[in-house]
Amino acid sequence: MGRLDGKVAIITGAARGQGEAEARLFASEGARVVLGDVLDDAGQQVAAGIGDKAHYVHLDVSSEADWAAAVDAATAMGPLRVLVNNAAIIMPAAIEDTTLDDYMKVINVNQVGTFLGMKAVLGPMRMAGGGSIVNISSIDGLQSKNGLISYTASKSAIRGMTKTAAIEWGRFDIRVNSIHPGGVNTPMGNPTNDPRAEKEPYQFQAIPRIGEPVEIAHAALFLASDEASYVTGAELSVDGGWRAGQVTPGLPGTDFVVEYGYESA
């Protein structure tokens, strides 16, 4: 039996990267999946590759009308039980170089898109008898970096909104949780597709490599499944130990040579 047998899921940003990995994994575990994205050709190709269990819709997550159409497509496939708010953009810039227009572009996709998605599925999930909403935040929703004023604002908001929705909707057996990926090998996390970028920035991390999209997808699968029936309002870091701290060459416990020029004592 698949872990998502009998469930219908909407996954946003599903034309590539994490969203594609989630859609493929969820379908393999028995779900019927609506893939939403604005990259129509790529999204349709992914849905066709998955087969009869998948349906692609054009979904600008900042559009209430597009959300209504996505929900209609999902409920036509059966009871809507899962939403993964995965779609996101990033526009790095120093604060003084960030225009209001650029700031709001990120907020409207990442933060407003998540809000509209949660609101759009509430009614259908209540009718279905419950469900699971998985909001993809980031480690930058728990901390930040220079250049990420809009991205961190949006991902921090997702973390907070997740908890509000969990509190309000737990009585309807709707669980709401957030995932906080670290670096992930996607067009966003490794835009140049440079093999060096898969290891070099992570050399002092506990697991010294970039994450793969399917690793985030497996975390989402757990939260979407009935195995997580008593998990709500939680934040799950999938970051290779990024936030645990860093390996410090020269201190005990580093009996190896670091690849990029540092040698332990």
Q: What is the pTM of this model?
A: 0.94
pLDDT of 192 reads 84
Domains of the chain plus CATH, in order, are 8-244 (3.40.50.720)
Mean pLDDT value of segment 36-63: 98
DSSP string, 44-69: HHHHHHH-TTEEEEE--TT-HHHHHH
The strand order across the sheet containing 80-85 reads 54-58, 32-37, 8-12, 80-85, 131-136, 174-181, 235-238
Residue 255 pLDDT greater than 80, yes or no: no
Asked if pLDDT for residue 132 goes beyond 90, the answer is yes
Mean pLDDT, the chain, rounded, equals 94
Catalytic residue among 151, 202, 260, 262: 151
Instruction: State pLDDT tens for residues 51-89.
Output: 999 999 999 999 999 999 999 999 999 999 999 999 999
- Alpha carbons within 13 A on the beta-carbon side of 114: 31
How does residue 35 score in pLDDT terms, banded at 50, 70 and 90? very high
Instruction: Establish whether 151 is a catalytic residue.
Output: yes
Helix (H) or strand (E) holding 176: strand 174-181
